[in-house]
Chain A
Amino acid sequence: MVALSQKLLVTGMDKPSRRSLPLSSDQVFRLASLGSALLVLIVLAGIIGSMIYGGLPAFREFGLGFITSSVWDVQRDQYGAWVAIVGTLTSALIALVIGVPISLGIAVFLTQLCPPWLKRPVATTIELLAAVPSIIYGMWGLFVFAPLFAQYVQIPVSSIVEGLPILGTILYARVPSGVGVLTAGIILAIMIIPFIASIARDILDQIPPVMRESAYGIGCTTWEVVRYVLVPQVGVSIIGAIMLGLGRALGETMAVTFVVGNANRLSLSLFDPGSTIASRIANEFNEALGLQLNALMALGCILFLVTFSVLVLARFLVARATVR
């Protein structure tokens, strides 16, 4: 890896007094750059290391049963990650189900349907959604959205589905307070929309216009262009963008902590409170002792693992489009 500059390095340019130094300023700069880059590696290794080190006692104590147990009893020092895992996955899934169609709709609008004068303001507005701090989403969710949700959705739906076989369990709110797994999912959806929408928009923009134009040329409607020309071209990368959004949804802490209800029990109803891994850690970390602390670190490990896998997959899929 011989850089071009080293071939061109003219030692005559160095001041005479510098020859006595072991390292020239050029080499120092290079080392500093390399060192900073390696620091990034070291930090990640440190994070993973400290998580594993902290979580190991919990895994040793409960074995793999830690992942499947839904008991979280601080009194008796029995911990299981299942409730948190289910909450995390459920809220993330809801976020995707709601957020992905909306993001894709926005991306299609911005790239295919939007008149040029409207493009910039709308795009900026959507991207500003990403700039709003997550705690603001939490406050909006808890103080504005939750009461409305309770009154206009939870109560009517509960009274309709009461007694029905499956819906009666999933959509029944024993206590319509507006907070719960579904609310958390909705808030998460709003948070990941700007991410997926802007990446999808960039991906769609990269398709050479000639493909679109040829399709329109033979008389396709916009819907057909999207469905038969654009999506097959970049479908895989769009999935990558979706996975990036998923990664964000899995790790989101503050917005979720406000609206998820923080229950330690597993409930079948989407309207009931639950908890996610991130909200559990945020709630209990400052007061956790001994095995509880290890259990929380172990939860962090699991979260990191899941997020890591999702991100690796996403990166791989998104890269497929840019390689072309």
Chain B
Amino acid sequence: MKILPYAAAFGLAVASCSLAVSAAEITGAGATFPFPIYARWAEAYNKETSNRLNYQSIGSSGGIRQIRAKTVDFGATDAPLKGEDLEKDGLVQFPVVMGGVVPVYNVQGVPAGQMKLTGEVLADIFNGRISKWNDAKIAQINQGVTLPNATITPVYRSDGSGTTSVFTTYLSQVSESWKSSPGAGASVQWPVGQGGKGNEGVAALVQQVQNSIGYVEYAYAKQNNIPFAQLQNKNGKFVSPDAKTFQAAAADADWKSAPGFGISLTNQPGDEAWPITAPTFILVHKNPEKPEQVAEALKFFDWAFKSGDQMAAELDYVALPPQVEDLVRVSWQADIKDKSGQPLFKK
């Protein structure tokens, strides 16, 4: 049969494509919030060790679902799981890096850095109570800025998202009416606006639609030069988002106060604190089905803790404080074990 030599050649080509067969390949999926930094780390890690970390950003809820279904080696989420959920699914949760959620806008005549907002006003915009950019409440805090008489298009996440979780948690903390409805969560009933998929989708939509406002992880705003707004923090000061203000928010955090390090960093006190800061988490199984894969994943995160700070800073993420990284390593050794009870992470 004439087809045989072609098939053989093809098979050979296929096999030779995956050259470094001995290199590990780890699959993770989840939050779009940390996607830029995970992708950057994965590239660098691959250059150094030829191990491949394939991370697909499908949203925090996607990460939770896939790790529960055991179709990935680790899941990633911005909204930490509660203690009882971790127990129920046999998962271990740990933070990796911190970042901030920023309101981004595309308003006619208002260049970058000129927009100030308060938590209440932000909540009212997304609630639909404030519907025009030149509303009195917005004009009040933005003296000297010409706001157009245009309808506001809020842009939100159409997929289940930890970024939404963080954002709505903040809004619930600063606005009573938001707290009762729609409340906080990975996926809420947005009264007005348009949905974009992933941080990427929201960023793209805000860029395209005039007079819109959305919320994205800071790296997305910075990398794409989308104007972001200053926010008033708990101490009443207007701050701009950057590594400094994120760090200020995390300064006094008590990481042990929630199971799986699942604390919230929104609306923290401090003059310099950015009000919508959040850590992002990784989920792995306590006794994973494929222990070698998870061991490789832990090696990757250990490498990221040791050598990834510079890259994180370049993208304006905030690395965890060294003592927290040590706490995380202790948790790995104590909680993540293979079938024979041996810890998967070795120092």
Query: Any chain A CB within 8 A of the CB of B279?
Result: no
Query: Any chain A CB within 8 A of the CB of B188?
Result: yes
A263, B158: Cα distance in complex, Å: 7
A293, B187: Cα distance in complex, Å: 14
**Do the beta carbons of A177 and B187 come within 8 Å of each other?**
no
Which candidate, A53-61, A118-126, A282-290, is the interface stretch facing chain B? Answer: A282-290
A80 to chain B, nearest CB (A): 12
Query: Any chain A CB within 8 A of the CB of B80?
Result: no
Query: Any chain A CB within 8 A of the CB of B288?
Result: no
**Do the beta carbons of A75 and B59 come within 8 Å of each other?**
no
| CB-contact partner of B185 in A75, A174, A177, under 8 A | A75
Q: A74-B187, A177-B153 are in contact. Are A273 and B65 (CB under 8 A)?
A: no
User: Across the two chains, which residue of chain B brings its CB closest to A288?
Assistant: B65
Extra inter-chain contacts (7) besides given A273-B194, A283-B197, CB under 8 Å: A75-B188, A175-B193, A262-B194, A264-B189, A283-B159, A287-B62, A293-B65
The proximity string for B residues 153-185 relative to A, scoring 1 for CB distances below 8 Å and 0 otherwise, is 100001110000000000000000000001101
- B: interface residue count bin: 20 to 34
**Do the beta carbons of A177 and B159 come within 8 Å of each other?**
no
**Interface CB pairs A-B, < 8 A, 20:** A73-B189, A74-B187, A75-B182, A75-B185, A75-B186, A75-B187, A75-B189, A174-B151, A175-B193, A175-B194, A179-B194, A261-B195, A262-B196, A263-B194, A264-B189, A264-B190, A284-B160, A289-B64, A289-B65, A293-B65
**Do the beta carbons of B188 and A261 come within 8 Å of each other?**
no
**Do the beta carbons of B197 and A262 come within 8 Å of each other?**
yes
Residues of chain B with a CB closer than 8 A to A262's CB: 158, 194-197
User: Across the two chains, which residue of chain B brings its CB closest to A71?
Assistant: B189
Query: Any chain B CB within 8 A of the CB of A168?
Result: no
A175, B212: Cα distance in complex, Å: 9
**Do the beta carbons of B187 and A175 come within 8 Å of each other?**
no
A264, B205: Cα distance in complex, Å: 17
The proximity string for A residues 64-91 relative to B, scoring 1 for CB distances below 8 Å and 0 otherwise, is 0000000001110000000000000000
Residues of chain B with a CB closer than 8 A to A179's CB: 194
A83, B183: Cα distance in complex, Å: 22
A305, B188: Cα distance in complex, Å: 30
**Do the beta carbons of A287 and B194 come within 8 Å of each other?**
no
**Do the beta carbons of A74 and B194 come within 8 Å of each other?**
no
User: Across the two chains, which residue of chain B brings its CB closest to A78?
Assistant: B189
**Do the beta carbons of B151 and A74 come within 8 Å of each other?**
no
Q: A74-B187, A262-B195, A263-B194 are in contact. Are A287 and B59 (CB under 8 A)?
A: yes
**Do the beta carbons of A273 and B195 come within 8 Å of each other?**
yes
Count: A-B pairs, CB below 8 Å: 72
A288, B190: Cα distance in complex, Å: 18
The majority secondary structure among interface residues of chain A is loop
Residues of chain B with a CB closer than 8 A to A261's CB: 194-195
Query: Any chain B CB within 8 A of the CB of A235?
Result: no
Within 8 A of A (CB), among B131-171: 151, 153, 158-160
**Do the beta carbons of A175 and B159 come within 8 Å of each other?**
no
**Do the beta carbons of A287 and B61 come within 8 Å of each other?**
yes
B108 to chain A, nearest CB (A): 14
Residues of chain B with a CB closer than 8 A to A288's CB: 61, 65, 160
**Do the beta carbons of A289 and B61 come within 8 Å of each other?**
yes
Residues of chain A with a CB closer than 8 A to B196's CB: 262
Query: Any chain A CB within 8 A of the CB of B58?
Result: yes
Query: Any chain A CB within 8 A of the CB of B68?
Result: yes
Of residues B68, B182, B195, which shows the largest number of chain A Cβ atoms within 10 Å of its Cβ?
A: B195
Residues on A lying within 8 angstroms of B by beta carbon are: 73-75, 147, 174-175, 177, 179, 261-264, 273, 283-284, 286-289, 293
Query: Any chain A CB within 8 A of the CB of B66?
Result: yes
Residues of chain B with a CB closer than 8 A to A263's CB: 158, 194-195
A54 to chain B, nearest CB (A): 13
**Do the beta carbons of A175 and B151 come within 8 Å of each other?**
yes
A168 to chain B, nearest CB (A): 16
Residues of chain B with a CB closer than 8 A to A75's CB: 182-183, 185-189
**Do the beta carbons of A287 and B195 come within 8 Å of each other?**
no
Residues of chain A with a CB closer than 8 A to B212's CB: 175
Residues of chain A with a CB closer than 8 A to B61's CB: 74, 287-289
A289, B63: Cα distance in complex, Å: 11
**Do the beta carbons of B160 and A175 come within 8 Å of each other?**
no
Residues of chain B with a CB closer than 8 A to A73's CB: 189
Of residues A175, A262, A289, which shows the largest number of chain B Cβ atoms within 10 Å of its Cβ?
A: A175
Query: Any chain A CB within 8 A of the CB of B209?
Result: yes
Residues of chain B with a CB closer than 8 A to A177's CB: 153, 194, 205, 208-209
User: Across the two chains, which residue of chain B brings its CB closest to A73?
Assistant: B189
Q: A175-B209, A264-B189, A283-B197 are in contact. Are A74 and B153 (CB under 8 A)?
A: no
Of residues B62, B158, B197, which shows the largest number of chain A Cβ atoms within 10 Å of its Cβ?
A: B158
| CB-contact partner of A287 in B58, B153, B205, under 8 A | B58
A37, B161: Cα distance in complex, Å: 44
**Do the beta carbons of A147 and B158 come within 8 Å of each other?**
no
Residues of chain B with a CB closer than 8 A to A147's CB: 208
User: Across the two chains, which residue of chain B brings its CB closest to A179?
Assistant: B194
User: Across the two chains, which residue of chain B brings its CB closest to A293?
Assistant: B65
In the A-B complex, list the 6 residue pairs whose CB atoms are closest, starting with the nearest. A287-B62, A287-B61, A74-B187, A286-B62, A175-B153, A286-B58
